[in-house]
């Protein structure tokens, strides 16, 4: 949410992104575009005039036209159990081939692919979708889920599935060296001033960035302003070393930077930013 030129991230991360270990473990069909693309951490793109052996290349998950009763769906397994707060079903660049409706179910299962006995809980009821659009939903369920089932009615394509929430972190390491700003350890973004070219949460991702899009990048400043981000560490800690990685950024890396730290035991409100 953006207010007064501040983007409030509210400590939420995309639980569905593949770099956190989340995977598509089942799908009814992926004739036109593979289901794994729906959880790519990068924004969808459109490639004009690009075709593969099945037809137009699309950056997302797309099923064939349904000729029988029923509907298509996929099952996503989170890298770690997650508490879901918001969902974005993104149909960017899908027009005329987007689903008529979608719904979302969640479950708790120790199995890679939940069996027929699994109890699925509805977190988003059947809802109408539009072409080339973001569809945002709030989720009020307080459970930490392991799997999601995205239903599309009856068929079609979805560019991205973003599932914003918090991960369940077990056995936080105490009195040992660890990365306090890694999302895998429980760090989360709180707020930033801009993320025009790259999402702020990217800088908390594990490993080395794959390309320039796999980082936090702001629009170009035109004045005396500077860009900033607030991160909540995975746990309170003593900082011994800081590494700032500008890998892949050439001609658009910061000229200078500074880092400040504070101990804030309570939740940061929007008024305090």
| pLDDT, position 1 | 59
Q: What's the whole-number mean pLDDT along residues 179-189?
A: 91
Say which CATH class 10-167 falls into.
mainly beta
Quick one: pLDDT at residue 176?
78
Q: Are 35 and 18 in contact (CB under 8 A)?
A: no
User: In this model, does residue 242 exceed pLDDT 90?
Assistant: yes
pLDDT of residue 267: 80
Q: In this predicted model, what pLDDT tens digit does every residue of 116-135 receive, in sequence order?
A: 999 999 999 999 999 999 99
Alpha carbon distance 30, 36 (integer Å): 9
Average confidence score pLDDT of the chain:
92
Lowest-confidence pick of 4-8, 143-147, 159-163: 4-8
pLDDT(72) > 90? yes
Half-sphere exposure of 84 toward its Cβ, with a 13 Å CA cutoff? Answer: 28
The CA distance from 45 to 78, in Å, is 24
The answer, yes or no, to whether residue 4 has pLDDT greater than 60, is no
b/e burial code for range 177-200 (CB count within 10 A of at least 16 → b): ebbbbebbbbbbbbbbbbbeebbb
| Band of pLDDT at residue 221, cut at 50, 70 and 90 | confident
Q: Say if residue 213's pLDDT is above 90.
A: no
Q: Give pLDDT, residue 175.
A: 66
> pLDDT band at 174, cuts 50/70/90?
low
Asked if the model's pLDDT at residue 157 lies above 80, the reply is yes
Quickly state the pLDDT bin for 8 (edges 50, 70, 90): confident
Task: Give pLDDT, residue 270.
Answer: 72
Summarize the confidence of residues 169-198 as an average pLDDT. Answer: 85
Question: Given a cut of 60, is residue 204 above it in pLDDT?
Answer: yes
Task: For residues 17 and 79, give the distance between their C-alpha atoms in angstroms, rounded to a whole number.
Answer: 9
Q: Please give the pLDDT value at position 172.
A: 61
Domain ranges for the chain: 10-167, 172-273
């Amino acid at each position: 949410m953006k207010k007064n030129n501040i983007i409030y991230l509210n400590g939420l991360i995309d639980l569905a992104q593949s770099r956190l270990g989340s995977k598509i473990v089942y799908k009814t069909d992926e004739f036109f575009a593979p289901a794994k693309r729906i959880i790519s951490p990068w924004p969808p793109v459109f490639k004009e005039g690009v075709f593969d052996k099945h037809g137009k290349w699309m950056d997302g998950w797309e099923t064939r036209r349904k000729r029988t009763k029923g509907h298509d769906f996929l099952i996503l397994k989170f890298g770690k159990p997650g508490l879901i707060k918001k969902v974005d079903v993104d149909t960017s660049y899908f027009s005329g081939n987007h689903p008529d409706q979608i719904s979302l179910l969640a479950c708790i299962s120790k199995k890679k692919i939940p069996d027929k006995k699994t109890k699925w809980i509805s977190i988003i009821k059947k809802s109408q979708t539009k072409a080339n659009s973001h569809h945002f939903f709030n989720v009020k369920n307080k459970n930490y889920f392991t799997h999601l089932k995205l239903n599309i009615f009856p068929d079609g394509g979805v560019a991205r599935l973003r599932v914003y929430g918090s991960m369940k972190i077990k056995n936080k390491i105490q009195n040992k060296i660890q990365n306090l700003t890694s999302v895998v350890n429980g760090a989360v973004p709180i707020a930033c001033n801009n993320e025009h070219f790259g999402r702020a949460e990217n800088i908390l991702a594990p490993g080395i960035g794959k390309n320039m899009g796999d980082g936090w990048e702001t629009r170009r400043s035109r004045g005396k302003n500077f860009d900033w981000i607030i991160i909540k560490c995975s746990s309170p800690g003593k900082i011994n070393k800081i590494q700032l990685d500008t890998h892949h950024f050439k001609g658009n890396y910061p000229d200078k930077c500074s880092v400040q730290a504070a101990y804030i035991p309570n939740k940061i409100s929007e008024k305090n930013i």
